[in-house]
Amino acid sequence: MNGTAIALDIGTSGIRGQLLDLGARKVIRTCITTRNPIPGCNVMDHMSFAIQYGQELAHQILVDAIKQIISKLTSEPLIRIAVCGNPIQLSLFEGIDIRDLAYAGDNKLKIEGVKRKDRTGHIADGKIIGMPGVQIIIPPAVRHEIGADALAMMLKSGFLDDDYCMVTDYGTNAEMALKVKDKIYTGSAAAGPAMEGQQIGNGMIAGPGALSDLVRTPQGWRSKVLDERLFAKDGPVLNIRSDIAHNEGLAPEGITGTGVVALVYACQQDERVIDSEISNGSVRITRKIKFSTEDYKEAGKALGAIRAGHLTLMITAGVNPQDIKKMYMAGASGTYVDPVKAKAVGLVPPDSEHVIQVGNTSLELAKDLAFNPDMLAELEELRKKLVTDHIMFASCDTFRDLYTYEFGYWNDGMPLNRYRRAMERYGVEGYLDRQTPTDVTRVCDTDIREVGESLDILDISPLMSSSWDCSGCEKCVRGCPEKALSYSEGTFKIRTGHCLGTSCQRCQENCPEHKFDYSAFKMNA
């Protein structure tokens, strides 16, 4: 078939879109955003915003951003759009009630009068996003809690072909799965935005100018900075111990998630971390870019959540961690991070001898569906065959216990020996200390396997506005930590993608007249 289509990966921290030539079966161009447009830092924030302020509003915000991406990619008519993402993002995109995803357990659903929604794979009409006549291809969720992104992670990585292995899509919402013979255990850790370079002082997503790694050399730590094609090039050389930076090579504009992991590793290796604090102030990268104690602790929350998630799956499955010899790493962070450093800071199980970095599997599945919509039937059959046991970390005592130790270690200076004793109690002693050689296979050089003729990066942030009778003191504006709120000529405006949403609300709390009403904001016409 001739014509064009769009493949979309709707991620928690950003959206990636590709324009496809259906006849030639190739990528024409790529466009990515620096953030998800819905207010909040993670998937739980997005869900909370939608439930508290209206799922229709969240749908409008997401669709507005996606239309901006599409208009950047093409002005020509489209045959179809194929999407992939977690159940919450895809439900908000399609305008489906998400309350059945918000509550754990059937009893709570019954009390609230909420029925589970059908999330099998299907083809919808483009009218759901204001583009009638365009086919919308929506892949199935394995179960209500296990989305199409997790299915993509398992299907496009090679994970399903092994007997004992793990796979993780490293990001704000870290999807993970453990395979023990024919049984699959899955979980999803709300790791927070540090894995995508957000909520870090000088953080940014994986894009041109992002510091993505550090490599030890005789002169110091050579930084690696992504160029316009997202390939890692040499940047400044850092001496972590003496805090001296030699500015040479490609200048970094910020730090992405994998760069955060590399900095955590380097600080630990060069003994700059004492009791969860970076000694002698921040690590200097350039005159404007630094890595602070606050950044280290924010990163620790993400690293700790992922390690606690991996351990929870293995403990629940009753499997010896030393049997897990293979690890698949997916997503942008899973592609650019150094697996050796990742293993040292807890992102990869210590006994994994073979690590395979597979790139953005969610976008790859969306692309497959755009080229071949008949693949939906194959995915449905695969979904039915998968025997899965999903662990809800939010209500899992094992995860809560392990994450308490992780938080204490990364943020409160808790001695590692206390965590070691907990490992013994769970029967996984030695987990924190074992070191094994790591054989690395990179399936692709960049997380997006093919970008086409161009790559555009957009800071898309739809606007909501509202107004009311107040003094206009602007304490709400000055108190916004992300500078997402503005005031002009009697109207307040919020850049939704920059707003922290329900996890913040400082604008409302700072109003001395108690007139600020977040719920009054609506999308700009």
Q: Which tens digit of pLDDT belongs to each residue from 199-220?
A: 899 988 777 899 999 999 999 9
CATH number of 463-523: 3.30.70.20
Closest C-alpha to 406, from 421, 393, 416, 392: 416
Helix residue spans in 212-317 (DSSP H) = 257-269, 293-317
Give the separation between CA 98 and CA 177, rounded to whole angstroms. Answer: 23
pLDDT at 46: 93
Residue 283, phi then psi, degrees to nearest 5: -85, 125
- H helix intervals, 103-218: 106-112, 148-155
Identify the band that residue 464 occupies on the pLDDT scale cut at 50, 70 and 90.
Answer: very high
CATH class given for the domain over 4-147+365-375+452-458: alpha beta
**pLDDT greater than 90 at residue 520:** yes
The strand order across the sheet containing 232-239 reads: 244-246, 232-239, 220-226, 210-217, 254-255
Mean of the pLDDT values across residues 148-165? 93
- Using only the alpha carbons of the chain, give its radius of gyration: 23
Confidence bin at 104 (pLDDT 50/70/90): low
Task: Write out the H or E segment, with its range, that includes residue 328.
Answer: strand 326-330
* Whole-number percent of the chain with pLDDT over 70: 99
What is the structure's pLDDT at 459? 86
pLDDT value of residue 482: 86
Domain ranges in the chain?
4-147+365-375+452-458, 150-193+297-360+378-442, 202-291, 463-523
Annotate 148-179 with DSSP letters as a single string: HHHHHHHHTTSGGG-SEEEEEE-SSEEEEEEE
Asked whether the beta carbons of 456 and 29 are under 8 A apart, the reply is: yes
Those residues with Cβ within 8 angstroms of residue 304's Cβ, 6 or more apart along the chain or in another chain: 346, 403, 406, 407, 409, 410
Dihedral sign, CA of 40, 42, 44, 50?
positive
Percent helix / strand / coil, the chain, rounded to 5: 35, 25, 40
The residue with greater pLDDT, 42 or 96, is: 96
pLDDT band at residue 144 using 50, 70 and 90 as cut-offs:
low
- Rounded to the nearest angstrom, the gap between the alpha carbon of residue 66 and the centroid of all alpha carbons in its chain is 18
Q: How confident is the model at residue 524 (pLDDT cuts 50, 70, 90)?
A: confident
Average pLDDT over residues 450-468: 93
Residue-wise pLDDT for 12-67, tens only, equals 888 999 999 999 999 999 999 988 999 998 888 999 999 999 999 999 999 999 99
Predicted local confidence at residue 190, as pLDDT: 81
Which pLDDT score is estimated for 465? Answer: 97
d(CA 29, CA 512): 49
Is the model's pLDDT at 111 over the cut of 70?
yes
Q: How many CB atoms lie within 10 A of CB 77?
A: 10
Q: What is the pLDDT of residue 192?
A: 77
Mean pLDDT of 310-327: 97
pLDDT, tens digit, 9 for 90 and up, residues 370-398: 999 999 999 988 888 777 788 989 889 99
